[in-house]
Amino acid sequence: MTQPKILIVEDEERIRNFLQRGLSFDGYTVEIAQDGKQGLHMHEEFGPDLILLDVMLPGMDGLDVCRRIRETSNVPIMMLTAKEAIEDRVAGLDAGADDYLVKPFALDELNARIRALLRRAPASPPQIFRFGNLELDTGTRQGQRGEYHFDLTIKEYELLELFMKNPRNVLTRDLIYDRVWGYDFGRESNIIEVYVRYLRQKTEQGGMSRLIHTVRGVGYVMREESDA
By CB under 5 A, name the binding residues for Ca ion. Answer: 11, 54, 56
Distance, in Å, from the CA atom of 177 to the CA atom of 186, rounded to the nearest integer, reads 9
Distance, in Å, from the CA atom of 226 to the CA atom of 14, rounded to the nearest integer, reads 57
> Residue 71 Cβ, how far from Ca ion at the closest point, in Å?
23
Among residues 31 and 161, whose Cβ is nearest to Ca ion? 31
* DSSP states of 84-102: --HHHHHHHHHTT-SEEEE
Among residues 56 and 101, whose Cβ is nearest to Ca ion? 56
> Residue 81 Cβ, how far from Ca ion at the closest point, in Å?
8
Distance, in Å, from the CA atom of 100 to the CA atom of 53, rounded to the nearest integer, reads 9
Among residues 83 and 168, whose Cβ is nearest to Ca ion? 83
Q: What are phi and psi of 170, to 5 degrees?
A: -75, 125
> Residue 12 Cβ, how far from Ca ion at the closest point, in Å?
5
Q: Which helix (H) or strand (E) holds 170?
A: strand 170-172
Contacts (Cβ under 8 Å, ≥6 apart) of 101: 78, 79, 80, 81, 109, 110, 113
> Residue 17 Cβ, how far from Ca ion at the closest point, in Å?
14
Among residues 54 and 161, whose Cβ is nearest to Ca ion? 54
